[in-house]
A and B are shown apart, each in its own frame.
Chain A
Amino acid sequence: MTSLLSGHGLHKSFGPIPALRGVDLEVAAGEVLAVMGPSGSGKSTLLHCLAGILAPDAGEVTFDGRRIDKLLDGRRSRLRRTQFGFVFQFGQLVPELTLRENIALPLLLGGRGRRGSVAAAGEWIERLQLTDSADRLPGEVSGGQAQRVALARALIAGPRVVFADEPTGALDSVAADEVMELLVTTARAEGASVVVVTHEPRVAAFADRQLTVRDGRAVLPAVAP
């Protein structure tokens, strides 16, 4: 497998606390990888290092054949904006904007005109079954609908990788299944890879492959699954 995104020997500490202690991983183009592990094991730290949100203390992050862990801030945030999409557990939508406007936001910020951005958002509203609530505010919709908006917003600018940290953490199992199904199928249709952090096996089961982190290290299965 040729990897699109990889981390090698990743270390990261917060003061005296080591959060990552030498993690290696590879994500192939179009692959959905779930990162599992107990609370505090370093899953979010790993995701942040891979996505260029945090700089690792040691080790390398390579995306599309280039080192990205040493990029300067400006180039790193440009990379995040143009190549990566993000979904978090909650609190990521702008409360004053409608769902439609929230979805269009990455295109507007990327310099696409208002009309084109809103039209593109309209397509995603249909794909993610949000037609009836498109003009409501985030505070007026369910958690599952809000997460579908977050998905659309993560995917609208055509990222190569979507990073999702506990995207279903606040949802019941029915809504969680819907969000994961949409995440996996839309990312696949767009050819994007997905790195999804979750401690729920039912959520991780949507992935092509699972990596488990314990105490800042990746646990490798002794036998291939």
Chain B
Amino acid sequence: MGIVRRMTVSYALLGLLNEADRHGYDLKQSYDRRFGATRPLRFGQVYRTLAQLERDGLIAVAGVEPGAGPERKRYSITTDGVTDLERWLSEPEDPQPQLQTVLFTKVVVALLSGRSADVFLEEQRQRHLAVMRDLTRQRREASLRDGMLIDYQLFHIEADLRWIEHAAGRLDTLAEEIKL
């Protein structure tokens, strides 16, 4: 779970840097405003994530203000960073619990950066539908107990899908609001 959240946070930060170069402090503020309604980022997490992204070559230090401390560094996204962000955006996620954080982040990052959220949502929808077809097929051969577990997964994936449909119908309005 920790891994999923950390990765999603990384991409959220990449998305913000894709919009403009930013300091760590600025990134935290922007993150909390755009993504962090229920879970604001801690500074430690921001700097840890930035260090990883920098080590992986996805961001670079664009300038250092006079003074001391990590908050003096201004970061920018590299071309590798843009490539990785786009790959993440275009790859559908396998349905799983906690996926909402990832899907929500993808929608906001896509809209923030003027990329198409429609295409990503439609491909995600297809992935979810395909997994539901597989599970429904598996359930046919399953015992009642295993079938009940499969049902549990099916209902959760269906809830994701409802959200995807719902979000797809509101992208224009959401885009307006997010730019604020």
Contact = CB atoms under 8 A, between A and B. Distances in A.
Interface residues of A, number: 17
Interface string B130-159: 101101100010000000000000110110
B126 interface: yes
B154 A225 contact: no
The prevalent SS among residues of B at the interface is helix
Contacts of A212: 125
Given A201-B161, A205-B129, A205-B132, A223 B154 contact: no
A201 B132 contact: yes
Contacts of B128: 201
Contacts of B123: 221-223
A88 interface: no
B4 interface: no
Interface in A16-44: 38
A111 B136 CA distance: 39
B119 interface: yes
B1 to A, nearest CB: 25
B122 A210 contact: no
B165 interface: yes
Contacts of A225: 126-127, 129-130
Q: Which one of A205, A210, A221 has the highest number of Cβ atoms from chain B below 10 Å of its Cβ?
A: A205
A219 interface: yes
A168 to B, nearest CB: 13
A127 B180 CA distance: 60
Contacts of B130: 225
A225 B136 CA distance: 15
Contacts of A221: 122-123, 126
B86 to A, nearest CB: 15
A147 B29 CA distance: 56
Contacts of B154: 202, 205
Interface of B: 119, 122-123, 125-130, 132-133, 135-136, 140, 154-155, 157-158, 161-162, 165, 169
- 8 closest Cβ pairs, A-B complex: A205-B132, A205-B136, A225-B130, A221-B126, A201-B161, A201-B158, A205-B133, A225-B126
Interface of A: 38, 181, 200-202, 204-208, 210, 212, 219, 221-223, 225
